[in-house]
Structure 1
């Protein structure tokens, strides 16, 4: 939408004008900070004119998911039952870091209620359709984040990822989404879903913007990324359950991406992690970690059937509330062992590559049917949740040549975030 040779304020004004035009039917943003964003943009332009820039994020227009605290306002986390909650006393730590780096916070973006579902529907808001085809779903739970970057109403958006909530909307809307290792970015001032699995990361048009933003969010000195040569890079492809039920267009685009990497010198190696995925499924057969932890967070209202809450959230959380603390502890102990086993298994590879999601975004009309909704959500989460369950870092890159977007996901070992981003930069250049 905005042109890079314009000043920050000029780019911002283009975005604000677009948002004003559709304000009677706004579906992507839940709040727009026009006045404060203008002040931040003017301050950035002044710094840039005076050669006093705060770094590569200075003057970049950023939106944030509606679960990050902003001083003086209630953090809704996509839910109307939080309308009466206390206002935040200070900005979330990641928002403080963004402002300190010169980012211009343009607004808060739509999310699914309490970040619990992946299709991208929130019954309290009009349906926000896919940025490429509004009749299709946009994915969640960082729904507005993916749309806003794809449509150009923000240059970078900050989301959260507990089972794929950054990478799913990134893949479905044709942008890049990065999930860091879980503890890399602090969660202070972010409304939780599952403290053991929650990650905070960026969605952007390219890997470089994700890398710059990640360094700011992690409290590091923001720096540009150097790419890594793909020559002799070992890329593991975990064929098996994660490649089942793939739509032909996704399968073809993924295979083309692998061939491009191989042509650039990468070594493609088939590998298997199905046994570890199956072991994790068995360990969590009584309930997902995210569901159990979320049920504790929301225990105070879960049995109140008079509340206006998405039943796709309330019903499963009520069931998870019945799981005992001893069972939960046992699950987490098993998870710890499986995380270690996965780390050992993938040490032989520089990264793993697989489709972010195996399907193209279905239509909003199609997912209105309950059984198809459940099937869609299961497929959307299947591949991405592996990185959360096994405490890995992962990024989704848009695959070229598709009329309806899909993503190629790269996964790396726990704590190898910057190296994964460097390798992703090289893959991105080859794909484009």
Structure 2
């Protein structure tokens, strides 16, 4: 699918509103191939959205590569006209989260203490793979400091607002907050985030887009500032399953990504866990949207089966000392904290410091508990095409709701409760928007087996199509 021997005609300037009709990467790809639009026009439209003073660009991005992006877009247009484009997607604008190394740029990871760190000497492999295909990185998206919260709050660079109810000021979810807002607001066709406990799927749910967490080992985390390497995953956020599947294929190293195979929802077996996922602290808006989506899937022929995962009741005790996130974050941050603790967001600092109390024996126990639970739960979920739950049990909270530390902690844990299970169990997982237009955003999460990413994307595309009239 790379390149092309026949040069398309030179693209004309886009008609007003044309970019807004191009929701997905496939739309832009077709328009570029036919010469109906140029890469320069796509990039300009994204940059205009970012620069709009009435929008969220100033809070969604920590750095915008405007001139470099325009130059790269013009280069991709010239290569396409000569029949030498590196891929069909050359010139399509995308974003990267602020913790990915980009050659020539610092990697502050949403922090103040690393704001003046030396620029990266090389691109992270996932960023290099995007650039090799000709995608244009238009900027670095905002995030929770050091990726250690699911709320999306950042006191250093501002907190971007969820696209829903911006007058109130609703949280975008985190830690890939800017990536979710940028995808929802057409500031590019998608972006790279990371997911250690839900940091792609939570902002996807709260911003009304699709967010994907791969089986972690499939996508390299080299050149990505870590939170907890045992759990860290690199995944995309975009406006459709197909967009996420394409970006995932590129960053996982596929040389010739193919379209998703077509399948229907009829006959799918979706496992619906009893207990905590569906009962505790569930917002009525989420419950109604979720039940409505299940009813539609069932009417379309999906088999939705209740089942038990009793081992999940062990997770709070297993992670009581902070789990992998606190212990592994402390290992990375302890030297920096010794020098610059005052520069950290105090709420993030407190989370990292929890790892200081964990002994080597505690850590080994955690590793062993994880292996046992992975094996036990895999036997329970094996019969299903996916496990289905709400992504988050609540709608986007107002920024004012998390000003008090106790509420910050409570709501953070609630947003991450469902998603973090997939990271601990080393699974692939995706969040799909299921709300109706005008309603508060709600996500449905489908979780597959370890290394069954291709099957999960196919299942998610079928579910997405069945719910397309939402």
Partner of residue 414 from structure 2, selected from 379, 382, 396: 379
Q: Quick check: 293-302 or 90-99, which moved more?
A: 293-302
Q: Report the equivalent of 1:107.
A: 139
Distance 2:46 2:160 in 1: 18
CA distance in 2, matches of 1:7, 1:206: 22
What is the TM-score when the length of structure 2 is the normalising length? 0.88
Alpha-carbon shift at residue 25 of structure 1 (Å): 7.8
How many residue pairs get aligned? The number is 431
Compute the displacement of 1:24 (Å). 11
Q: Secondary structure at the match of 1:335?
A: helix
Cα displacement string for residues 169-222 of structure 1 (whole angstroms, at most 9, x for unaligned residues): 000000000100011100111100000000001000001110010000000132
- The answer to whether residue 206 in structure 2 is matched with residue 194 in structure 1 is no
Q: Tell me the distance in 2 between the aligned counterparts of 1:392 and 1:48.
A: 38
Q: Partners of 1:25 and 1:218 in 2: how far apart?
A: 28
Conservation of the 8 A alpha-carbon contact between 1:27 and 1:125: yes
How far is 1:138 from its partner? Answer: 0.6
- Contact 1:302/1:317, CA 8 A, preserved across alignment: no
Tell me if the contact between 2:268 and 2:385 (Cα under 8 Å) persists in the aligned partners: yes
Inter-CA distance 195–430: structure 2 relative to 1 (3 Å threshold): same
* Residues 84 and 18 (structure 1), Cα distance of their counterparts in 2 relative to 1, 3 Å cut: closer
Equivalent position of 1:232 in the other structure: 267
Give yes or no for the alignment of 1:136 onto 2:136: no
| Distance in 2 (alpha carbons) for counterparts of 1:253 and 1:208 | 23
- Residue from 209, 225, 228 that aligns with 1:175: 209
The alpha-carbon distance between structure 1 residues 21 and 174, as it changes in their structure 2 partners (threshold 3 A), is closer
Distance, in Å, in 2 between the alignment partners of 1:50 and 1:280 is 57
After TM superposition, the score normalised by the length of structure 1 is 0.96
- SS in structure 1 of the partner of residue 59 of structure 2: coil
1:29-428 alignment to 2 at 5 Å?
29-134=61-166, 135-220=169-254, 221-243=256-278, 244-273=280-309, 275-303=310-338, 307-401=342-436, 403-428=439-464
* DSSP 3-state at the match of 2:348: helix
d(CA) in 2 for partners of 1:53 and 1:343?
Answer: 43
Deviation of residue 105 (structure 1)?
0.5
Measured after TM superposition, the shift of residue 245 of structure 1 is 1.4
* CA deviation map 1:243-264 (0-9, x unaligned): 1211111111111111111122
CA distance in 1 between partners of 2:429 and 2:57 (Å)? 34
CA distance in 2, matches of 1:48, 1:183: 34
Q: Matches of 2:52 and 2:208 in 1, distance apart?
A: 24
Task: For 1:337 and 1:228, locate their aligned partners in 2 and report how far apart those are by CA, in whole Å.
Answer: 34
Q: Tell me how far apart the structure 1 counterparts of residues 385 and 413 of structure 2 sit (CA, whole Å).
A: 28
**In terms of mean alpha carbon deviation, does 415-424 or 312-321 score higher?**
312-321
CA contact 2:435–2:443 (8 Å) conserved in 1: no
CA distance in 2, matches of 1:289, 1:333: 12
The reply on whether 1:431 has 2:462 as its aligned counterpart is no
C-alpha distance in 1 between matches for 2:41 and 2:260:
27
* Aligned counterparts of 1:245 and 1:36: Cα–Cα separation in 2: 46
Gaps of 5+ in 2: 1-16, 23-30, 32-36
Indicate which of 4, 7, 14 corresponds to 2:45.
14
Is the Cα–Cα contact under 8 Å of residues 117 and 312 in structure 1 kept in the other structure?
no
Deviations 1:295-324 (A, max 9, x none): 111011335575211111111222211211
Aligned equivalents of 1:368, 1:189: Cα separation in 2: 33
For 2:52 and 2:292, the matched residues in 1 are separated by 40
Kept in 1: contact 2:321–2:354 (CA 8 A): no
Deviations 1:358-397 (A, max 9, x none): 1001111122132222221111000000100111100000
Conserved in 2, the CA contact under 8 Å of 1:185 and 1:200?
yes
